[in-house]
């Protein structure tokens, strides 16, 4: 922490203070994540609703870095308080926000403290200012990479080993690059030529990766609907499905529609279902932009009464989303063992429902963006024990662009250490199970 000038306290008491509104929004988002276990995406909708675009972007940048570095920021805070603050105490949350600005976003100390002190009630102001001043004088520094929360580190070390823990810490250091899925894979070279200013690379057929910070709406081809944003790991389940010419596909839990668009682009006659009207509207908007068709149904698949069967049934099940921690660092703070077990029960029920819609000889593709075995490998092992009319199909490694992603049993598992030199990949699980009777 550089000592350029004196550590200052210049609080202003209203939102007229430059930057105070964005810090207030950052505090609201942290409170929603820490105290109500709300997802950061949902919290941002509520907290940033009335902010102009620049303030919204600033608030989201602050909260992302505060959550990425939370373990290390908390250690700093605890080193300067006589009594350990509660995990969700307002002064602790504001200290995380101020320190993330100074140490990660390189906000001048006086700006960081002057825009959080007005958000502290009376007495704790002295505490917040004192901790900030003590750390400033000590020239406190963050480690080279963020520390993982203990609960996540224990789970992942047990399941995936020390190499994965080290890679996850490196992956958490910064947001991931931008992955694009092309509507027409044959157009890849032409589209990459249009994007030369963004240093594109391609890691798979029909895929382009750009550096982070690219404004999506301004990229070549956006208005023409030639591509959509989709992490390369999330694109893998549909790659497993293959060519869809003359085949039907049922996409369960479909919104916001990346996999629906993939299936339609691959030639499948697609029926897509989601329970959320708001997410269904987003799915329809995405389909219109890329000029692809699907039969869209708003329904709870746990109650959906349908006798039709399909060649491909894709269940990208609701999950902890712990594999997306690079872009959603809140999952590291929100998710615990109870959440994993609760969602695993829901996934088991949805798998059983999905199986009834698979044609004889058809395939059920189960996927989760999770790094928890309970939401991936264990689901498939349990399902196959209970359903002898299905068998596990080994996924062809030639259609998966990620080295070592196909496990010995034949399902797909991506981890933080994979493709690390090319920008990394989300944690993901997918398995293909075929109905034989």
Sequence-distant (6+) residues with CB within 8 A of 396 are none
Q: Report the CATH number that the domain containing residue 69 is assigned in CATH.
A: 1.10.940.10
Distance CA 380, CA 366 (A): 8
Question: Looking at the structure, do residues 115 and 210 belong to the same domain, yes or no?
Answer: no
Q: Which two tokens stand for residue 92?
A: 């602790």
Listed residues 211, 230, 249: the one ending a domain: 230
Question: Looking at the structure, do residues 299 and 424 belong to the same domain, yes or no?
Answer: yes
Nearest to 357 by CA among 425, 271, 419, 281: 271
Does residue 169 belong to any structural domain of this protein? no
64 is in which domain, residue-wise? 20-137
Q: Report the CATH number that the domain containing residue 248 is assigned in CATH.
A: 3.40.50.150
Distance CA 315, CA 26 (A): 34
Does residue 4 belong to any structural domain of this protein? no
* pLDDT tens per residue across span 186-203: 999 999 999 999 999 999
Question: Looking at the structure, do residues 404 and 364 belong to the same domain, yes or no?
Answer: yes
Distance CA 173, CA 327 (A): 11
Please report, for the chain, how many H helices and E strands are present, in that order: 16, 11
Listed residues 86, 113, 137: the one ending a domain: 137
Question: Looking at the structure, do residues 212 and 241 belong to the same domain, yes or no?
Answer: no
Does residue 14 belong to any structural domain of this protein? no
Beta strands in 355-415 (DSSP E): 358-368, 390-393, 412-414
Does residue 158 belong to any structural domain of this protein? no
Low-confidence ranges of the chain (pLDDT < 70): 1-18, 214
Question: Looking at the structure, do residues 332 and 198 belong to the same domain, yes or no?
Answer: no
Contact of 121 with 103, CB cutoff 8 Å: no
Does residue 336 belong to any structural domain of this protein? yes
Question: Looking at the structure, do residues 223 and 284 belong to the same domain, yes or no?
Answer: no
* pLDDT tens per residue across span 21-56: 999 999 999 999 999 999 999 999 999 999 999 999
Q: What is the pLDDT of residue 3?
A: 43
Contact of 202 with 208, CB cutoff 8 Å: yes
Sequence-distant (6+) residues with CB within 8 A of 173 are 68, 145, 146
Question: Looking at the structure, do residues 386 and 260 belong to the same domain, yes or no?
Answer: yes
Contact of 47 with 28, CB cutoff 8 Å: yes
Q: Which two tokens stand for residue 413?
A: 């598992």
Question: Looking at the structure, do residues 90 and 206 belong to the same domain, yes or no?
Answer: no
What number of CA atoms fall less than 13 Å from residue 163's CA on the CB side?
Answer: 5
Angle (CA) 281 282 287, round 5°: 100
Contact of 140 with 103, CB cutoff 8 Å: yes
Q: What is the pTM of this model?
A: 0.92
Question: Looking at the structure, do residues 315 and 225 belong to the same domain, yes or no?
Answer: no
The crossing angle, in degrees rounded to 10, of helices 70-78 and 90-103 is: 110
Question: Looking at the structure, do residues 345 and 406 belong to the same domain, yes or no?
Answer: yes
Q: Report the CATH number that the domain containing residue 184 is assigned in CATH.
A: 3.30.70.1170
Q: What is the pLDDT of residue 18?
A: 63
Does residue 156 belong to any structural domain of this protein? no
Question: Looking at the structure, do residues 207 and 354 belong to the same domain, yes or no?
Answer: no
Q: What is the pLDDT of residue 6?
A: 52
Count of domains observed in the chain: 3
Question: Looking at the structure, do residues 283 and 368 belong to the same domain, yes or no?
Answer: yes
Does residue 13 belong to any structural domain of this protein? no
Does residue 304 belong to any structural domain of this protein? yes
Length of the chain: 437
The crossing angle, in degrees rounded to 10, of helices 53-68 and 40-47 is: 150
Sequence-distant (6+) residues with CB within 8 A of 95 are 73, 77, 116, 128, 131, 132
């Amino acid at each position: 922490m550089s000592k350029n000038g004196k550590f200052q306290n210049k609080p202003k008491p209203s939102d007229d203070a430059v930057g105070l509104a964005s810090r207030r929004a950052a505090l609201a988002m942290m409170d929603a994540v820490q105290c109500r276990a709300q997802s950061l995406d949902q919290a941002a909708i509520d907290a940033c609703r009335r902010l102009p675009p620049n303030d919204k972007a600033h608030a989201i940048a602050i909260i992302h870095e505060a959550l990425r570095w939370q373990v290390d920021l908390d250690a700093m805070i605890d080193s300067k308080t006589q009594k350990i603050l509660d995990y969700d105490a307002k002064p602790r949350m504001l200290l995380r926000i101020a320190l993330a600005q100074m140490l990660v976003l390189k906000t001048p100390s006086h700006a960081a403290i002057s825009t959080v002190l007005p958000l502290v009630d009376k007495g704790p102001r002295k505490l917040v200012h004192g901790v900030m001043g003590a750390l400033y004088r000590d020239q406190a520094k963050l480690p080279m990479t963020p520390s993982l929360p203990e609960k996540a580190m224990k789970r992942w070390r047990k399941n995936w080993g020390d190499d994965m823990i080290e890679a996850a810490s490196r992956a958490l250091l910064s947001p991931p690059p931008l992955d694009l899925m092309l509507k027409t894979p044959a157009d890849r070279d032409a589209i990459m030529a249009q994007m030369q200013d963004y240093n594109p690379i391609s890691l798979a057929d029909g895929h382009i990766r750009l550096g982070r910070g690219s404004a999506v709406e301004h990229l070549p081809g956006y208005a023409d609907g030639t591509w959509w944003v989709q992490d390369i790991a999330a694109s893998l389940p549909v790659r497993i499905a293959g060519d869809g010419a003359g085949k039907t596909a049922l996409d369960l839990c479909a919104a916001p529609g990346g996999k629906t668009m993939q299936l339609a682009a691959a030639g499948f006659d697609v029926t897509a279902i989601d329970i959320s009207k708001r997410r269904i509207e987003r799915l329809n908007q995405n389909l219109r932009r890329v000029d692809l068709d699907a039969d869209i149904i708003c329904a709870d698949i746990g109650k959906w009464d349908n006798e039709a069967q399909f060649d491909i049934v894709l269940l990208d099940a609701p999950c902890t989303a712990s594999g997306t921690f690079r872009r959603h660092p809140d999952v590291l703070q929100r998710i615990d063992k109870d959440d994993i077990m609760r969602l695993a029960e829901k996934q088991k029920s949805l798998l059983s429902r999905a199986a009834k819609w698979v044609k004889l000889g058809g395939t059920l593709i189960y996927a989760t963006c999770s790094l928890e075995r309970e939401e991936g490998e264990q689901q498939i092992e349990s399902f196959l024990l209970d359903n002898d009319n299905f068998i596990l199909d080994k996924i062809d490694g030639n259609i998966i662009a990620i080295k070592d992603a196909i496990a010995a049993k034949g399902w797909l598992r991506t981890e933080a250490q994979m493709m690390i030199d090319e920008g990394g990949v989300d944690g993901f699980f997918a398995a293909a199970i075929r109905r034989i009777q």
